[in-house]
Structure 1
Amino acid sequence: MLAVALKGAFVSGSLIVAIGSQNAFLLKSGLKNNYVMLVASICFLGDILLISTGVLGVGALMEQSPLLTKGLTLFGIGFLCWYGFISAKSAWRGQSHLDIDNGEVNRNWVAVALMTLAMTFLNPHVYLDTIVVLGGITSSLSFEEKKWFLIGALTASAIWFYGLAYVAKKLIPIFAKPKTWQVLDSIIALIMFSIAFGLAKPFVS
């Protein structure tokens, strides 16, 4: 079961680390020392809700429909291949960068919390990654395996968000270097392709 948990951690971690609006906001909060742990906690609680829904909720629904399971699994394979290709291309061209504005952030904790909720739940890619993709990836797993996958996924989420909050100021100079992004994108691409290959085996064997 440890292998399943590690798979959950790798897949979830690879989807989470892409620097989007949510992570940029978390990094900016860390730079400004602006309720950064509150931001990290909301991000993590959002993942608990969304990832659990994808792995357990959608997965349980798909158990009753083999056709839906196959379709969503194929969709997951396609998405992972696309994600891996984009990451590989970004690594090759050195396209990724960190874009955090230098503007002032709101010191009101309520405003910060509301902004974090918006970054978390108003982003359509969040639902695609956590519910659709993870639901498809785990559709063929047993309930016990899904629990371990979920443990691994949420562990990766907690380490990423709280770790990023803790070391935000130290990471900014590192992620300002294009070489760092090329290494990160390369690792993400390898993980995405390897998971997609594993999912595709039953269809070609």
Structure 2
Amino acid sequence: MVVFWQGLFVGASLIIAIGAQNAFLIKQGLSKQYIATVAGICFLGDVVLMSFSILGAGSMLTRIPLLSLMLAIVGAIFLLLYSYRCLKSAYTGQSALHLQADQVTLHSHKKVALMAFALTFLNPHVYLDTIIIIGGIAGTLTLEQKWWFLTGALTTSLIWFFGVGFGARLLLPWFSKSKTWQVLDFGIGVLMFWLALGLVYYAHNLLQNPIV
């Protein structure tokens, strides 16, 4: 169960960070337009990419120690940079997402679905999150732990996408506050730093105890 909570928090730290995908989801939530479609595509993307990363790519890493080491190092560097960016945003307050209902433009169902699909599967950042970060962490787990980790991460994804999509209007006052995003960015930054240290420790152990 510990790994489940780890997956839950890792998933939250990556999914909640506001980017193009979440901004689009929130705007659709504000307009009350095709929310289930957008949230469903976002969640489906996580199911496919996280499952491959944790059960596929992660399993491959355990059989190729050198690749696992390289990914752990790259992942640690990326997490440290990610942590720095979040902590900087928390300090400056630059990540606040100010959305108003009158800023939303209505589109056809097909166009909304295509936009959601593109923001989910054509976003390079998504693959950095799933392959480098989640895949790197999963590579250090046993098969049973990977299932718990995946369940935790997907639980966060399900709650976040559908919760934000359908609750966007109710949460608008909360989302509009710069202080809220500063606190959120600070928490994410600290968690990313802690995860980076974990990957550094894992890489150090691989170097000290190489597997031939």
> Deviations 1:6-53 (Å, cap 9, x if unpaired)?
111111110111111111111111111101111101100010001111
Query: Structure 1 length normalisation: TM-score?
Result: 0.93
Identical aligned residues as a percent = 49
Partner of 1:28: 27
Amino acid of the structure 2 residue aligned with 1:109: H
Q: Identify the residue that residue 175 of structure 1 maps to in structure 2.
A: 175
Give matches, 1:34-183, under 5 Å. Answer: 34-98=33-97, 100=99, 102-106=103-107, 108-183=108-183
Residue 53 of structure 2 aligns with an amino acid whose one-letter code is G
8 Å CA contact 1:39, 1:116 repeated in 2: yes
Q: Give, in angstroms, the shift of residue 173 of structure 1.
A: 2.0
* Residues 61-113 of structure 1 deviation map (CA, whole Å, 9 limit, x = unaligned): 2122101011101111111111111111111111112155714221x222211
Q: Report the AA paired with residue 80 of structure 1.
A: L
RMSD between aligned alpha carbons?
A: 1.5
Q: Deviations over 1:102-126 (max 9, x none)?
A: 14221x2222111110111111101
Q: Which residue of 2 aligns with 1:196?
A: 196
2:106 aligned partner, one-letter code: V
Does structure 1 retain, via aligned residues, the 8 Å contact 2:27–2:104? no
In structure 2, runs of 5+ residues without a counterpart are none
Deviation at 1:198, TM superposition (A): 2.4
Amino acid across the alignment from 1:89? K
TM-score (norm 2): 0.90
Deviation (angstroms), 1:166 = 2.0
Give the ranges of 4+ consecutive aligned residues of structure 1 lying more than 6 Å apart after TM superposition.
none
Q: Are 1:24 and 1:99, in contact at CA under 8 Å, matched by a contact in 2?
A: no
3-state SS of paired residue (1:127):
helix
Give the C-alpha shift of residue 199 in structure 1: 2.6
Residue ranges of structure 1 left out of the alignment (5+ in a row): none
- Bigger shift: residues 62-71 or 96-105: 96-105
The one-letter amino acid of 1:12's match is G
